[in-house]
Amino acid sequence: MPGSGRLERNTDLGLDLRSSVGGGIGRYFVQTNRSLLSAAGGLVLNRENPVDGDSTTNVEAFVATTYEFFTYDIPKTDIDMRFVLYPSLNVTGRYRTEFSLTLSREIVRDFTAGATAYDSYDSKPPAGSSSTHDFGISLNIGWTF
């Protein structure tokens, strides 16, 4: 049974703080020594403090899917893709999505380079927001010891 607790801030979507807690059920559909494919669903309760305006409490369902691909031989490779849909149960017509894709590859022994692309969407963002999307790419390097 997946459970989650999150604290988020996204001023691009007009959100000073979103605190949420939720739970549900999930299942692995593929589970091998190189990949995982899973899906989950459940309920989330959140409290949103917008940059401008009054706080609100929301009840949302969630449907999530995750795919991971990895190799342990040299060069190590990791691909991690996640998508979550949050349809609101108390605000008619509102839904949110979260998507991320992370790629990481070993360059030399235990030294990795990678990138993460993400997209957050809110069909009815808090008051004062001028955008419904926030997206970006981050580059990363790492060393495992």
DSSP line for 16-49: EEEEEEEEEEEEEEEE-SSEEEEEEEEEEEEEEE
pLDDT at 130 over 80: no
DSSP-assigned letter for residue 75: S
Helical ranges in the chain per DSSP H: none
Average pLDDT over residues 55-63: 94
**What's residue 1's pLDDT?**
53
Expressed as residue numbers, the domain containing 116 is 3-143
Name the band, by pLDDT with cuts 50, 70 and 90, for residue 20.
Answer: very high
The tokens of 85 are what?
Answer: 């849909």
Q: Dump pLDDT digits (tens) for 81-115.
A: 999 999 999 999 999 999 999 999 999 988 999 99
pLDDT at 127 over 80: no
Name the band, by pLDDT with cuts 50, 70 and 90, for residue 26.
Answer: very high
Residue for token digits 């795919």? 67
Q: Kindly report the average pLDDT of the chain as a whole number.
A: 91
Contacts of 114 (CB under 8 A, 6+ apart): 78, 102, 103, 104, 105, 139, 140, 141, 142
Top pLDDT among 19 and 110 is at 19
Give the total number of structural domains in the chain. Answer: 1
